[in-house]
Amino acid sequence: MSAVALRLPLKPDRALVRKWVEKLGREKITAVIVSHSHFDHTADAPYFAIEAGAPLIGTESTVNVGRGAGLEESKLIAVKPGQTMTFGDFTVRFIESVHGPAVLGRVPFPGTIDKPLVPPAAARKYRLGGVFALLIAHPTGTILHHGSAGFKPDMYDGISVDVLLQGISGRGDTDQYLENVALKTRAKLVVPIHMDNFFKPIKDGMSFLPMVKFDEFCRKAEQHRSIFTMRTIPFCKEVRILPLNAAIVPGDAVR
């Protein structure tokens, strides 16, 4: 937290990234896809790509973070809203979205990253770029990764999904957010994400971001329990979320 608050340069921990790539299984990582280029999403992403030998995929701003980290050009893929990419049995559609009103009703660090961003760099250098939601289709089912808590009213017209990974930090009105994302997409399973305190080291375990109002989100989601089920996923553990009739690992108690 202090490095961000004090505007100090953020230094990616490459040894820790390497450890996690090994834990996840290097050969299982086909692509590193980033939804927008704020520091909490991109600062480490190029190093996951380097360790895994995988491409880094996102906006032009995200690609400039990869370039600054030393990723080779052949591993940098800039995508545009509406574009689709295929990875084996997975198809990913990049849907244009907007950022949540995270800090005092404003989007932090707006703008784009127009030249290679060489770390260590201060949080404010990681400008937003664009924002994508990721619609991930597989023969077993469809997963929507809605990572940032803004939305466009028409962005999910005609789209329905099995599983929604819904980023809840920095959201505005929870009822509207559920209405326009979870209910609009007719999600059957809703998994809240992006609520853990990313200002703390991962070794400290799960704790909530300040002001994430997790209980309020649960209470409001619970009102729609006849439409979708809500589950949390355990911190840093592998879970199975499809097919839907297979049991998802119940979430850790998060307090």
Binding site for Zn ion (CB under 5 A): 38
Residue with Cβ nearer Zn ion (36 or 93)? 36
Name the nearest CA neighbour of 23 among 237, 178, 247. 237
Residue with Cβ nearer Zn ion (123 or 137)? 123
Residue with Cβ nearer Zn ion (38 or 146)? 38
Minimum distance from residue 91 beta carbon to Zn ion (Å): 25
Structure tokens at 76: 């940098």
Minimum distance from residue 22 beta carbon to Zn ion (Å): 28
Label the pairing between strands 131-138 and 141-146.
antiparallel
Minimum distance from residue 21 beta carbon to Zn ion (Å): 23
CA-only gyration radius of the chain, Å: 18
Residue with Cβ nearer Zn ion (34 or 49)? 34
Minimum distance from residue 103 beta carbon to Zn ion (Å): 10
* Burial zone of 252 (CB within 10 Å; 0-12 exposed, 13-18 middle, 19+ buried): middle
Residue with Cβ nearer Zn ion (117 or 189)? 117
Minimum distance from residue 98 beta carbon to Zn ion (Å): 11
Minimum distance from residue 39 beta carbon to Zn ion (Å): 8
Residue nearest to Zn ion (CB): 38
Q: What distance, in Å, lies between the first and last C-alpha atoms of the chain?
A: 20
Residue with Cβ nearer Zn ion (38 or 93)? 38
Q: How many CB atoms are located within 10 Å of the residue 239 CB?
A: 13
- Report helix angle 14-24 to 45-52, nearest 10: 50
Handedness of CA 211, 102, 2, 63 (dihedral sign): positive
Q: Give how far Cα 16 sits from Cα of 10, 12, 19, 49, 82, Å.
A: 14, 9, 5, 14, 34
